[in-house]
Chains A and B, each alone.
Chain A
Amino acid sequence: MSGHAASAARFAADEERAHWHDQALWAVRAKRDAQAAAIPEWEELRETAAAIKAHTLSRLADYLEEFERNARANGVEVHWARDGEEHNAIVHRILADRGVTRLVKSKSMLTEECHLNPYLIERGIEVVDTDLGERIVQLAGLPPSHIVMPAIHMKREEIGALFHDKIGTEEGASDPAYLAEAARGHLRAKFMAAQAGLTGVNFAVAESGGVVVCTNEGNADMGTSLPPIHIACMGVEKLVPRSRDLGVFLRLLARSATGQPVTSYTTHFHGPIRGGELHFVIVDNGRSAILGQETFRRSLSCIRCGACMNTCPVFRRSGGYSYGYTVPGPIGSLLAPQRDPRAYGSLPFASSLCGSCSDVCPVKIDLHHELYMFRQELVARRVVPWRKRFAMKVTGLVLGRSWSYRLAGKLMRAVVPRLPRFLVYGPWNPWGRARELPPMPRKSFRDLLREEPS
């Protein structure tokens, strides 16, 4: 056992914790259901969002150029990055050229994907994540375990202990209101001292050249209105053609993500603040390769709401870290192996293919079907271990002929009940670790059929 199965088993071994994690995320799913149910045209919104994204991706280059033109006309400096390395270098150069040594960030999964924080810190820049959940995991020295709720895996007592250690809260204090207030005070000082602010982007609008950032804590707004320099980093897939398209996506995003009708703050950036600078860094980092292949390009429609994680029965019981990738859960299991099939080859198998992710997805990515199809990619590229491929070859051959199928069934039903238990339920039988084998009746259906009057 390796890859996701192994790390998931470790997480689930603490069953109480796995259940706690499951319940916490299920509660978010339930809030999402209530919000979605309150919108009579919910399914129509999903259809529309999927269509807008499919259209945008079909002429992405044109829309990107339109966006760039309009952004420049608004006084924004636009930068293009081929990959994470280039992205990090661009951000660093902007900061270094201006003598910035203190940066505040709001949540950006793209910068997590590019590993921007360590890059900047190594080069002498203080980087402070200002989203509460992000700050918690940053103080703990961990990556986010969930793209919307980065510290969802931590209990409040653990956060209390961490804050006591790192920002001097009272020992043993775990009241969420107290801890949040302490974090506010701690972050306020960082905001006041910051020389530049960096944000992610939820949506970029081609026709206006503006970007939209959604937060619940107003931290993106603090971080972009106090210091004079704002850098917004976005993947190429964040684009929508028109401002009116936001009327579709903003209604879907918060409802799907956290079960709120809308995020507390939805900020539109159309140009630099007076006397300041606004930079957009547009990043590919493997996205156009995904766009180039037909079966899996729809994964680029993702608006990073995290609903597929909250609903995924596997994610809820295995935790975000079990995926080992910046974006975990069903969508991450599709994105990660496209980036590196060998490193993330176990992820498409980390799904029971129940399809809840596909039904919950606000942009209707057929996630479970794509995971199913991606397994074929992994077999074709021989990423799946040969033993598994061999076992399936043999199974296919046995099941492919009536006589061998009947013989195998008969042998199994005759032999297994006669074997001593330790032989049947040895370590070579993963089914039997927690489950009994099915009954082994003397007669199969086709045997019984001969006795059935027709």
Chain B
Amino acid sequence: MPKVALFVPCYVDQFYPRVGLATLRVLRKLGLDVEFPAAQTCCGQPMANSGCAADARPLAERFLAIFGGYDHVVAPSGSCVSMVRNHYGQWLEGKPGFDHLRTSTFELCEYLVDVAKVARVDGEFRRRVGLHMSCHGLRELRLARSSETMVAPFDKVRRLLAQLRGIELVELSRPDECCGFGGTFAVNEAAISSLMGRDRIADHERAGAEVIAGFDVSCLMHLEGLLRRAGKPLAVMHVAEILEPARLS
């Protein structure tokens, strides 16, 4: 049985612990041997996103040291996984174990679909759900076809959620526009970032969503912050929380 390391991004660990727990439980229900390496902290993205390569690099090296020995690394975040897969090469290319780490670090949904080969999701979720396709999972991990690319449609996230009884996945007018979080962009360009987020929320509202669901808590944190400021009833949920009660096979 593969030895799986759970990577819980820093802000999920601190602010959204239930998402970490839901991810752990989903993986354990599949019968996987899951460990949470306690030394883990952050993938380094805040620094890398700001251009501070020298400050991000030690975190990349640390990540390799902590997670390099596992068969698989799974995280409830597309963005942090993309950091490992698409941006660590700059510092870790050629380092022992990096090729393995890069190809065996997965976002939760792609892990369930591509590696654990989950075909059936047996459960229910009786809500109207708007899917927020966070950009890095979408365009850097290719969890689904982006609206710009002209290839055959596929969607690993929708494929899992659509099987839940009672779930209604609403159609957005802009299916994958950025919510404006963008890491440090959210504070560097706070005005544009919030406007983008409010526009995304309006799209979900028009489509009749009760829940905005996504695979990146960072975007959901930004949207939730805007929703709570506006006193709106929409909820945000991570896919893991929705899948947690279901039986996966």
Contacts and interface: CB of A to CB of B under 8 A. Distances in A.
B195 to A, nearest CB: 5
A175 interface: no
Contact of B148 (A33, A317, A378, A440): A33
Contacts of B197: 435
A372 B49 contact: yes
Given A379-B51, A438-B11, A313 B191 contact: no
B148 A409 contact: no
Interface in A406-438: 409, 412-413, 430-431, 433-438
B13 A351 contact: no
Given A33-B148, A351-B182, A395-B46, A448 B17 contact: yes
A334 to B, nearest CB: 14
Nearest to B218: A438
B214 to A, nearest CB: 14
Interface stretch (A7-15, A88-96, A108-116): A7-15
A122 B148 CA distance: 45
Residue among A317, A352, A412, A437 with the most chain B CB within 10 A? A352
Nearest to A22: B199
Nearest to B228: A436
Nearest to A315: B192
A427 B198 CA distance: 21
Contacts of B138: 355
A452 B183 CA distance: 31
Contacts, number: 222
Contacts of A376: 51-53
A43 B36 contact: no
Given A318-B192, A395-B47, A434-B229, A356 B148 contact: yes
A393 B13 contact: no
A311 interface: yes
A42 B145 CA distance: 14
User: Which label, helix, strand, loop or mixed, suits the secondary structure of the A interface?
Assistant: helix
B13 to A, nearest CB: 4
User: Which label, helix, strand, loop or mixed, suits the secondary structure of the B interface?
Assistant: helix
Interface stretch (A65-73, A158-166, A397-405): A397-405
Interface string A353-367: 111101110000000
A413 B13 CA distance: 11
B46 A445 contact: no
B192 to A, nearest CB: 5
Given A353-B136, A434-B198, 19 more contacts: A4-B189, A8-B189, A9-B192, A311-B148, A314-B196, A348-B51, A352-B178, A352-B185, A354-B182, A355-B135, A369-B86, A389-B52, A392-B55, A396-B55, A396-B58, A413-B15, A430-B188, A431-B225, A439-B15
Interface of B: 8, 10-21, 24, 36, 38-42, 44, 46-53, 55-56, 58-59, 62, 86-87, 135-136, 138-140, 146-151, 174, 177-178, 180-199, 221-222, 224-226, 228-229
21 contacts: A9-B191, A311-B148, A313-B177, A313-B196, A349-B185, A352-B180, A352-B182, A352-B193, A353-B185, A354-B135, A379-B53, A396-B56, A401-B41, A409-B13, A409-B14, A413-B14, A413-B15, A433-B190, A436-B228, A436-B229, A441-B17
4 A-B pairs with the lowest CB-CB distances in the bound complex, closest first:
A352-B182, A375-B51, A435-B225, A396-B55
